[in-house]
Amino acid sequence: MFPLTGKTVNFSHFPDPSDTWEITETIGKGTYGKVFKVLNKKNGQKAAVKILDPVHDIDEEIEAEYNILKSLSDHPNVVKFYGIYFKKDKINGDKLWLVLELCNGGAVTDLVKGFLKRREKMREPIIAYILHEALMGLQHLHNNKTIHRDVKGNNILLTTEGGVKLVDFGVSAQLTSTRLRRNTSVGTPFWMAPEVIACEQQLDTTYDARCDTWSLGITAIELGDGDPPLADLHPMRALFKIPRNPPPQLRQPELWSAEFNDFISKCLTKDYEKRPTVSDLLLHKFITQIKGKEVMLQKQLMEFIEIHHCMGDTEKARHERIHTKKSNLNRSLISIQKDVDDLATLDILDENTVLEQLEKCYSKDQIYIYVGDILIALNPFQSLGLYSTKHSRLYIGAKRTANPPHIFAMADLGYQSMVTYNSDQCIVISGESGAGKTESAHLLVQQLTVLGKASNRTLQEKILLVNNLVEAFGNACTIINDNSSRFGKYLEMKFTSSGTVVGAQISEYLLEKSRVIHQAAGEKNFHIFYYIYAGLAEKKKLALYKLPENKPPRYLQNDHLRTVQDMMNNSFYKSQYELIEQCFKIIGFTMEQLGSVYSILAAILNVGNIEFSSVATEHQIDKSYIYNHAALENSSIMAENVQ
């Protein structure tokens, strides 16, 4: 049964509509129920009725709409309110009837689509007239401390007399002297302002009436293009993009006047503190152009409405509203959760749903899944054969929906965006230790070098190998990860304007330098020290760099490494030494320069073997002096080698 009582309104006290109104035809479907044309049995007046289905979580919205209509519908640009009725129905459930002014002209969205269907576009003066009237309605609401919060083409209706009316106040909010801002994320996704969307994640985020200004700017684009920006995306994915994307604009701004483009730009200022109010916009040049032409434009609008009606109905797109304050979702939005490639397309997106979807993916060896523009990578800890040349080609220039989620798709997105918009792009890799960040970075660089069509193979090898070198010097074995990056890394790849890769540069920051002299139990020093020690020992060159041959340097000693033989017998260390030496050569190091690198590393290890003792006797002083003098002399030899 329908909840009979809101917070302050007892719905069951309203009269039965059957005594006054008779349904004559169906007009359409609203957010929570159908809309019908009705006839007043007593005086023959025609009206529209919104019949609200018995959904148990919308009483607050009904009460809000009722209160706003009752107090603010006395304005020429707000739909008139004729009353609320309560119809008891034991079989189908009780229903509420909201009886409103009949706007036979339909929604402005439908009128625009009618123009586009005839391969025409709505003229700017008509658009300016519609927006002016909508602004007047919004100004009336805002002056009475009310935010509409769902301004869009379908909520701006036309009358056959050329009138423009704001409708649907189900999610409108009234501001008070003690609460001039709101913090509930509500509205229809494509029209929602960035600050409204932010309330979903940031509890301390608020907004004011200027969120309606943003929505009107999106509606202005809708009047030009027929659809709001991002309309081809799932609504939840649009919510990810709106706060991150630059402010949208008309699809072909060059086809429209500078004034129209500027009006939209002003409306879609992302920082709402700098965004104009509706009163400010009423003074904009695009809007003031209609001054003195209102009657003429109204007549033209009436003619267009008549032509549109003669052409027949156009296809209507349904855009569902969201309301984050609700504990459960609109019944029409709830669906059985299915396997998806993009979590943002799920109707219900909470922690349990995300975990369930990730578990399903992982069990099927599907290690990648999108969340809007983000790619989640699950480390499979095994080779799945996903990075072959065949896979690489599959994702070059392909639509995202054409293939399963993949890190190569992210590389392609960044590359294509860079080339198309001629602007720098950035891919951020983040995750827990052992999540696979290092491997993901390798794969991105690998695919970007393929996309960048390196002018020669040597350049491609250099870019790929420089990663290995930096990781040898900056990665180490920890308790939970044998190849943990102990530093932050910023890899910058350089491309020509045509998209050809010409070089790369790696910067490191926050290097864990303390690891050189001390490691926690069960952990190791940086990889490079083990690699060069094993490699130099294999080539009988330890003595050349004054490294001990009978006992590992103190900086390398741990529970798993007690003798030099432990390193010499480690085939992995020796193979890595060969690989590192080859990397240096390909990058361009000479043997002399390579020897200097080894000397620096050996000097660091030798410094760790210096011992100091306290001065007690003359005999001890002499002994200590002799030992330390020898150690320092050894260290100076290393310095000479470095020079």
User: Among all residues, which ones are annotated catalytic?
Assistant: 150
Q: Where are the beta strands (DSSP E) in 304-399?
A: 322-323, 368-371, 374-377
Instruction: Return the DSSP state at 10.
Output: B
Q: What angle do CA 594, 596, 601 make, to 5 degrees?
A: 100
What are the structure tokens assigned to 404, written together? Answer: 């399963």
Q: In Å, how far are 458, 595, 636 from 592, measured between CA atoms?
A: 21, 5, 19
Residues 6+ apart with CB under 8 A from 521: 559
Residue 633's alpha-carbon distances to 257, 546, 601, 626, in angstroms, are 80, 11, 17, 10
φ, ψ (nearest 5 deg) of residue 610: -65, 130
Enumerate long-range contacts of 626-629, CB under 8 Å, 24 or more apart: none
Residues 6+ apart with CB under 8 A from 586: 458, 461, 462, 465
d(CA 554, CA 606): 9
CA angle 530, 531, 535 (to 5 degrees): 115
Residues 475 and 486: beta-carbon distance below 8 Å: yes
| 76, 132 Cβ separation under 8 angstroms | no
CB-based contact 411:444 (threshold 8 Å): yes
DSSP designation for 76: T
The SS3 of residue 543 is helix
Q: How far apart are the C-alpha atoms of 220 and 225, rounded to whole Å?
A: 9
Each as own residue / partner, the long-range contacts of residues 67-71 (CB below 8 Å, 24 or more positions apart, any chain) are 67/9, 67/174, 68/141, 68/146, 68/169, 68/172, 68/174, 69/98, 69/100, 69/169, 71/144
Side-chain-side CA neighbours of residue 357 (13 Å)? 24
Distance, in Å, from the CA atom of 328 to the CA atom of 426, rounded to the nearest integer, reads 37
Distance CA 267, CA 282 (A): 12
CA distances from 284 to 208, 212, 277, 309 (A): 21, 16, 11, 32
Q: How many Cβ atoms sit within 10 Å of the Cβ of residue 6?
A: 16
The answer to whether the CB of 105 falls within 8 A of the CB of 164 is: no
DSSP codes joined into one string, 35-79: EEEEEETTT--EEEEEEEP--TT-HHHHHHHHHHHHHH--STTB-
Read off the amino acid at residue 473. F
DSSP string, 108-139: HHHHHHHHHHTT----HHHHHHHHHHHHHHHH
Separation CA 135–CA 210 (nearest Å): 12
Q: Taking Cα atoms as reference points, which of 147, 140, 135 lies closest to residue 182?
A: 147
Rounded distance, CA 126 to CA 293, Å?
Answer: 10
CA atoms within 13 A on the CB side of 569: 7
